[in-house]
Amino acid sequence: MKQDDEDWLRILAGETLPHADPATRLEAGLLRAAQLRWPQAVETVPPHDSARVRRLLARARDEGLLPQPFWRRLQLIRQPAFAFAVALCLAAGIGLIWQTHEQDVPVVRAGSDGIVLLHAAQPGRAADGIASELRSVGVEVRRYQRLGREGLDADLPQPPSPAQREVLVRHRVAVPDKGELRLEIAPD
């Protein structure tokens, strides 16, 4: 802080500084005299009057002296179209979650014996679906059961057709190297 500013503040506080700049002494002295003549009837808010403080803060916000809370600044929330859009998004999200839990999504595991092992909540239903899809693209499928698992054996032509590849990819099964598909589906 500059010396002139310090002198001005000290004179305003009531000190006498004969060495200060005459213009600074005059300005600070006039302001101090005006301050001392000003009426001292300043209203103070008692600390226990929290209702009054809340009213004053609300008034200051209404007059734009304080920033509005975030939710008040968002005028969209008060619009019926916005509420409808939020409800629609929630319904769609819940529907997707519910649909995902209802689906029989297999989990793929490949064994060392060349058998691809899938896990599904309903192995019979999953095996029926995969077998019917393979048959619809011209693959002969043999069904079997072994150790509580549903099994499928199929001989794929080399190379498999794009439709046959699509069925395998959809069920996350790798295209077998030699055309021999061995697939078992175990319960989750």
Question: pLDDT tens string for the chain (188 positions)?
Answer: 688 888 888 898 888 888 889 999 999 999 999 888 877 766 665 667 788 888 888 888 888 787 766 666 666 566 777 778 888 888 888 887 776 554 454 544 455 567 888 888 888 888 888 889 889 988 898 998 888 888 888 888 888 888 888 888 888 888 887 888 888 888 87
Task: Give the pLDDT score at 181.
Answer: 86
Q: Residue 143 in contact with residue 150, Cβ under 8 Å?
A: yes
Task: Give the pLDDT score at 30.
Answer: 92
Task: Give the pLDDT score at 78.
Answer: 64
Q: Round to whole Å and give the CA distance between 30 and 12.
A: 9
Look up tokens 């395998």; give the residue: 168
Q: Residue 149 in contact with residue 121, Cβ under 8 Å?
A: no
Residues in Cβ contact with 149 at an 8 Å cutoff, skipping those fewer than 6 apart: 117, 123, 184, 185, 186
Amino acid at 109: R
Pairing of strands 116-120, 141-146: unpaired
Tokens of 73: 């600044």
Task: Give the pLDDT score at 27.
Answer: 92
End-to-end CA distance of the chain: 76
Tokens of 7: 């002198």
Beta bridge partners of 110: 116
| CA neighbor of 14 nearest in space, from 47, 36, 39 | 36
Phi, psi of 118 (to 5 degrees): -110, 150
DSSP state of 76: G
The three-point CA angle 88-91-94 to 5° equals 150
Residues in Cβ contact with 144 at an 8 Å cutoff, skipping those fewer than 6 apart: 151, 152, 153
Task: Give the pLDDT score at 100.
Answer: 55
Q: Round to whole Å and give the CA distance between 151 and 131.
A: 10
* pTM of the predicted model as reported, rounded to 2 decimal places: 0.41
